[in-house]
Structure formats: structure tokens, C-alpha cells
Structure 1
Amino acid sequence: MTAILQISDTHIVHEGALVSGRLDTADALGRLVERISGIRDKIGAIDALLVTGDLSDGGTAASYDRFKSIIAPLGLPTYVIAGNHDAREPMRAAFAQDLPASGHLDWSRRVGDIHLIGLDTLVEGQGAGALSSDSLSFLQAALAQAGGAPVLLALHHPPFASGIRFMDKIGLTNREAFREIIADYKGTLRIVCGHVHCMMVTDVAGHIALSAPSPCSTFAYDRRSDAPVGFYTQEDGCLLHRWNGGFESIRIGPVAGPGPFPF
């Protein structure tokens, strides 16, 4: 059995700062780390931590150092991908051991039974994302290398429309090119992403795709054309992906609540 914990959209800033003048994102992430640490004996062994973008809110070296210090109590091998709020070179420097020395931050790793692939959708200076021709070629080669093994494929921008209009305006601009490549993969492939600050489950080219919640805020699922643009201060949890002959994806909420009570 292999288990990978996914945390997304932590938006860490330097000490003393609040995101949008309101969100203490470091405090929220710290509470989630405490929550996970407190239930490790219940959920079983975790092989790695996957962070699907927007680790930082401004891409500063200090924010990446702060992020690393907050997650340190988990003691997990950590694999990161870039989100639209990240900055490629400071992120590369902060995670130099596990990211390529140059070019886009695409990578693949074998973690237990899972072939884990991370793709860089960052277009610096823009909210929308795209997979470069190099990243698409990397994906094609990484899937060939996986050779039918179970794949957990991670990117920041969802390869699907969320229905949240202001987020879809800054979504993945070349979803079809991504779909064409993964449609040919014959093994089990699960796609995970972030960006939309809520959990959604859908199908992309015959494969299950999930977006992860954010520890620090939530976007409302509001399909109206005049839906307000903004966030809610509701904090959410993370996802745990387990391979045991098939994928299981479990949401872990930020708080336990009272109980358990007898039936």
C-alpha cells in the first residue's frame, strides 16, 4: 500500500502579514499540520507529501522558508509544483533537491507503487496557466516511462472547467492538449490539482480528476453570471490518496468535531 498526502493553496506570506488583509494563512496551515499529526496512527503510514501549487502568495524566498518550517513536523518527503502565485526561481532554490536545475519545474518520481508526476502550469505574471510544449513532451515521456503502472498526475490549474466563473477565466488555457496525451494511457491514472480552493471530482479523458481544498479559504460554487468575485474565510483540509490495487482518495477535514458517540 502507498499513501500520498495532498495539500494545496497554502498562500504563505512573511511573518506578520495577512493575505488580502484578512487571512492568517500560516496559522491555518499550522493547525492543519497539527490535525494530520494527531491522526497519523488512525490513517496509517504516509509515504510522501504532495503540494499542488500556491505554496506562497507572493513567491518570496522568505515565504518558502516559512512554508518549509510549518510542514517540518510532518517529517515527510515533500514534492511541490508551481501555482500562479508562486515564482519559479525562488521555488527552485527552496526545493533544489527535488526540482530540475533549469527550465520548467516538471518532475516524476516513483513513490512506492505509484508513479508520481508533477507538471508546471505557471505562466509568470498571469493568473491563467498553460502547459508549455516542453511540459507536454515531458508528460508524454513520463507516461511512457510509467509503463502502465498506477500514476498520480499533479498540476495546479484544473484540466477541467470548475463552473466558478472568475476562476475559470484564469484556468488552464490548453486543456485539450493535456487531454489528448492522457487519453492514450492504458493504466490507472488519477489527476489531482488545486487552484479552485474546493474539492471537485470529475472525469478528464476517461480518468478521474480531483481538485483539493485549501487550508486557508474557500471559493463558493456559484454558477450565476453575476456571482461575486472573492473568497470565504472558511478553512478546509486536505486529501489522502491511497493505492491498494486501486486508488482511494479521502478528504481529511480541518477539525474533528465532537465524538465518536455510540449508536
Structure 2
Amino acid sequence: MTTILQISDTHIVAPGGLVAGRLDTADALDRLVARIGAIRHQIGVLDAVLVSGDLSDDGSAQSYDHFKTLITPLEVPLHVIPGNHDARAPMRAAFADQIPGAGPINWDHRTGEICLIGLDTLVEGQKHGTLTVETLTFLRDALVRADGAPVLLALHHPPFSCGIRFMDDIGLTNQQDFADAVGGYAGELRIVCGHIHAMMIHTVAGQVAVSAPSPNSTFAYDRRPDAPVGFHTQEDGCLLHRWDGGFQSIRIGPNDGAGPFPFKID
């Protein structure tokens, strides 16, 4: 069995800062990390932590240093990809031990039985995402290297439309190119992403795609054309992906509530 914990859209800033003057994203991540630590005996061994973009809210070196301090208590190998709020140069400097020295932040690793692939959709200075020709070539080559093994494939911007207008307006511009690249993979493939601060499940080229919630905020699922643009302060946890002859994806909420209480049997 191989188990990957996916955390997304942490939006960390320098210590003491608030996002949008309201969100204490560091406190939210700190509490989520503590929650994961408290249930490690329940969920079992974690082989890696995948952070699917927007580690930082402002792309500053201070924010990446703060993120690393907050995530360290998990004591699990960490893999990161950039989101639209990230900046490649300071992110590359902060994670110099794992990020390639130039170009898009694309990588692939064998983790247990899984081939883990990370893709860069960042268009610096913009909110939408794009897979460049270089990144699409990397993806196709990485799938060849995977050679039929189970693949967990991560990118920040969802390769599907979510139905929330203001998020789809800043979505992935070349979803069909992505679908064409993954559609022919012969093995099991699970696509995971972030960006929309909500768990959604979609089918892309015959493959299951799952978006992750955010530890600190959500966007309402509001399909009206004139839906308000903004976030809600609802904290929504993270995802756990398991391979045990098949993929299983589980949401871990930010708290567990009271209990467990026994069922009453009459």
C-alpha cells in the first residue's frame, strides 16, 4: 500500500500577516497539521505529502520559509508544485533540494508503488493556468517512464470546468491538450488538483480527476452568471490518496467533532 497526503491552497504569507486582511492561513495550516498528527495512528503510514499549488499567497521568500516551518512536524517527504499565487524563483530557492534548476517546475518520482508526477501550470503575473509545450512534452515522457504503473498526477489548475464562473475564468486554458496527453495511458491514473478550494470529482479523458479542498477557505458552488466573487471562511481540510491495487481518495476534515458514540440498537 502507498499513501499520499494532498494539501492544497495553503496561501501562507510572512509570519503575522493575514490574507485579504481576514484569513489567518498559517493558523489554519498549523491546526490541520496538528490534526493529521493526532490521527496518524488511524490513517497509517504516510509515504509523502503533495502540496498542489498556492503554497504562498504572495510568492515571497518569507512565505515559503514560514510554510516549511508549519509543515515540518509531519516529518514526511514533501513534493510541491506551483499555483497561480506562487513565484518560481523564490519557490525554487526554498525547495532547491527537489525542484529542477531552470524552466517549469515539473517532476516525477517513484513513491512506493506509485509514480507521482507534478506539473507546472503557472503563468507568472496571471491567474489562469497553461501547460506549455515543454510541460506537455514532459508529461508524455513521464507517462512513458511510468510504463503502466499506477500514476498520481498533480497540477494546480483543474483540467475541467468547475461551474463557478469566476474560477473557470481563471482556469486551465488548454484542457483538451491535457486530456489528449493522458487519455491513452494504459495503467491506473488518478488526476489531482487544487485552485478551486473545494472537493470535486470529474472525468477527464476516461480518467478520474479530484480537486482538493483548502485548509483555510472555500468558494461557494454558485452557478449563477452573476454569483458574488469572493471566498468564504469555511475551513475544509485535505485529501488522502491510497493505492492498494486501486486508488481510493478520502477527504480529511479540519476537525473530527465529538464522538465516537455507539449506535443504539433496539
TM-score, length-scaled by structure 2: 0.98
2:172 maps to 172
Match of residue 230 from structure 2: 230
1:182-234 Cα offsets, whole Å, 9 max, x none, are: 00101000000000000000100000000000001000000001100000000
Q: Please give the residue correspondences for 1:75-224 in structure 2 after superposition, counting only pairs within 5 Å.
A: 75-224=75-224
Match of 1:245 in 2: 245
Secondary structure of the residue aligned to 1:109 is strand
| Amino acid corresponding to residue 42 of structure 1 in structure 2 | Q
Deviations 1:34-55 (A, max 9, x none): 0000000000000000000000
Aligned to 2:257: 257
The one-character-per-residue Cα deviations of 1:211-258 (angstroms, maximum 9, x if unpaired) are 000001000000001100000000110000000000000000000000
Q: Which residue of the partner structure matches residue 66 of structure 2?
A: 66
2:98 is paired with a residue of what secondary structure? coil
Which secondary structure does the structure 2 equivalent of 1:27 belong to? helix
**% same residue:** 68
| Paired position in structure 2 for 1:18 | 18
**Alpha-carbon separation, structure 1, partners of 2:20 and 2:103:** 31
Post-superposition shift, 1:16?
1.5
2:28 corresponds to 1:31: no
Q: How far is the alpha carbon of 1:178 from its aligned partner? A: 0.5
The residue type equivalent to 1:251 in the other structure is R
| Unpaired stretches in structure 1, ≥5 consecutive residues | none
Number of residue pairs aligned between Structure 1 and Structure 2: 263
Q: Secondary structure at the match of 2:251?
A: strand
SS at 1:117 equivalent: strand
Equivalent AA in structure 2 for residue 193 of structure 1: C
Deviations 1:165-192 (A, max 9, x none): 0000000000110100100101000000
CA distance in 1, matches of 2:239, 2:207: 18
CA RMSD of aligned residues (A): 0.4
In the TM superposition, structure 1's runs of 4+ consecutive aligned residues that sit over 6 Å from their partners are none
Q: TM-score, normalised by structure 1?
A: 1.00
